[in-house]
A = this chain, B = another copy of it.
Amino acid sequence: MSKRDAKRAEIVGKLAAHFIEVGLGDTGVRRLAEVAGTSDRMLLYYFDNKEEILAAVLGEIGGGFTDVLDAVFGTKPLKPADAVKKIWEMVRDEATAGQLRLWLDLSSRASRGDPFFGAIVEQMAEGWIIWLTGMLDVSDREKRPLAELIMSAIDGQMVLFPTDLTKGDAAVAKLQQLLDDL
């Protein structure tokens, strides 16, 4: 790996960690530079432009996503109701909150038609869904729709109650109940 690539990787790593921690937020080059511990001048020396920076960082985040999930959850099959419970616990955890805010950001930009963010979101969503599909202990035909339903119901809590996720407890409990005898 060339020195330039190493530096790029270092910067991307720092920015990815930061975005995961606090969400997308301010993406100005001067602010990004500060977070990466360098200057805007250097940032645009290692990267051609701001878009390339964001692409690299979001690509990194998206790529490492399911690894994180596997690390947290292991790989043994789960009954749907239990999957809901565990995922909701994870989502409710403050440590994951930034990542979710990040996802909301990306989705809203994607829904405005931005193809760049659209592709990223598509990739991340597919990652989640495939991962959950693999974990669900139900018949093959039901796996995928069920995974999508669970993911969307949980993501929906962010949209409905962005300021206070605890308000989503009742809806999630209801979903668990509906899934109880599957």
Using a CB–CB cutoff of 8 Å, the interface residues on chain A facing chain B are 23, 25, 100-101, 103-105, 107-108, 110-112, 118, 121-122, 125, 128-129, 142, 144-146, 148-149, 151-163, 168, 170-175, 178-179
Contacts and interface: CB of A to CB of B under 8 A. Distances in A.
20 contacts: A103-B159, A104-B159, A105-B112, A107-B108, A107-B158, A108-B108, A108-B162, A110-B162, A121-B162, A128-B160, A129-B160, A148-B160, A148-B170, A149-B171, A151-B160, A152-B159, A153-B175, A156-B157, A159-B159, A178-B179
A161 B161 CA distance: 19
A54 to B, nearest CB: 16
Contact of A107 (B142, B144, B148, B162): B162
**What 4 A-B pairs are tightest by C-beta distance, nearest first?**
A152-B156, A156-B156, A148-B171, A111-B162
Contacts of A153: 149, 152-153, 156, 175
Copies in the complex: 2
Contact of A160 (B108, B118, B125): B125
A170 B152 CA distance: 11
Q: Is the interface of A mostly helix, strand, loop or mixed?
A: helix
Nearest to A25: B112
A168 B129 CA distance: 12
Contacts of A142: 174
A118 B163 contact: yes
Contacts of A103: 159
B111 A163 contact: yes
B23 A112 contact: yes
Contacts of A151: 156, 160, 171
A172 B172 CA distance: 16
A111 B101 contact: yes
